[in-house]
């Protein structure tokens, strides 16, 4: 494990959220209340979940704000994280619930889901910045892909996103190129 479990989960959840609007097929995978409900459940969010179109719109706006973290350098990311935490009046505290051992929350229990997502992402990115591991947050190396990724591998070798099958595309292209070389 590169970071604490909650940091890794926050980063991976943020990358998935950003990638809901960066699919090769052009489909926005965060269009409905059902899409948001599945995301909420998959990533183990707790607290307030209104399950309405207004909440979907708020989370989509948060998604755009979070996406900026992949478009900047480390120092600017620190400024964005500080702004996110300040605007939410974030106060970190240790909590334990369900099957999850002690971890950090930094919003009040009834905070809007969009605020929770922004703050938890900011907390995760704060660890990345503090550890001088910002290179682990990168854009997919796939041709024409705009998806983001978080490289949690030991050797920092992850280059492709999961959302657009870019790794498979690159492997197939390399295989075809090798096969096309006259032997």
Rounded CA-CA distance 123/105 in Å is 9
* pLDDT in the model for residue 177: 74
Q: Which long-range contacts (CB under 8 A, 24 or more apart) does 21-26 make?
A: 21/60, 21/63, 21/64, 21/67, 22/145, 22/146, 22/147, 22/148, 22/163, 22/164, 23/147, 23/163, 23/164, 24/144, 24/145, 24/164
Give the mean model confidence (pLDDT) for residues 104-118. 94
CB within 8 Å of 155: residues ≥ 6 apart:
none
* pLDDT in the model for residue 176: 76
pLDDT at 77 exceeding the cut of 80: yes
* pLDDT in the model for residue 154: 92
Instruction: Name the residue with tokens 């400024």.
Output: 79
* pLDDT in the model for residue 9: 95
The dihedrals phi and psi of 155, each to the nearest 5 degrees, come to: -95, 10
The gap between the terminal CA atoms of the chain, to the nearest Å, is: 44
Give the mean model confidence (pLDDT) for residues 56-85. 98
pLDDT at 28 exceeding the cut of 90: yes
Residues 7 and 124: beta-carbon distance below 8 Å: yes
Residues 113 and 48: beta-carbon distance below 8 Å: yes
pLDDT mean across residues, the chain = 93
Give the mean model confidence (pLDDT) for residues 12-35. 97
Give the mean model confidence (pLDDT) for residues 68-88. 97
Q: What percent of the chain has pLDDT over 70?
A: 99
CB atoms near residue 111 (< 10 Å): 19
Model confidence at 183, pLDDT cuts 50, 70, 90, reads: low
Whole-Å CA distances, 114 to 5, 48, 131, 164: 21, 10, 26, 25
Q: What percent of the chain has pLDDT over 90?
A: 81
Pairing of strands 148-150, 137-139: antiparallel
* pLDDT in the model for residue 121: 98
pLDDT at 179 exceeding the cut of 90: no
């Amino acid at each position: 494990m590169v970071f604490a479990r909650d940091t890794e989960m926050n980063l991976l959840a943020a990358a998935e959220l950003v990638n809901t609007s960066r699919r090769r097929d052009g489909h926005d995978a965060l269009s409905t209340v059902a899409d948001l409900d599945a995301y909420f459940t998959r990533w183990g969010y707790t607290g307030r979940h209104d399950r309405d179109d207004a909440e979907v719109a708020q989370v989509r706006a948060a998604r755009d704000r979070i996406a900026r973290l992949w478009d900047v350098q480390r120092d600017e990311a620190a400024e964005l994280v500080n702004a996110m935490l300040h605007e939410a009046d974030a106060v970190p505290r240790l909590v334990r619930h369900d099957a999850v051992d002690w971890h950090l929350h930094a919003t009040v229990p009834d905070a809007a889901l969009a605020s929770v997502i922004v703050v938890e992402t900011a907390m995760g990115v704060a660890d990345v910045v503090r550890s001088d591991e910002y290179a682990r947050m990168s854009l997919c190396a796939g041709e024409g892909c705009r998806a983001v990724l978080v490289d949690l591998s030991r050797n920092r070798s992850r280059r492709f996103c999961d959302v657009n099958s870019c790794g498979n595309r690159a492997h197939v292209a390399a295989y075809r190129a090798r096969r096309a070389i006259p032997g």
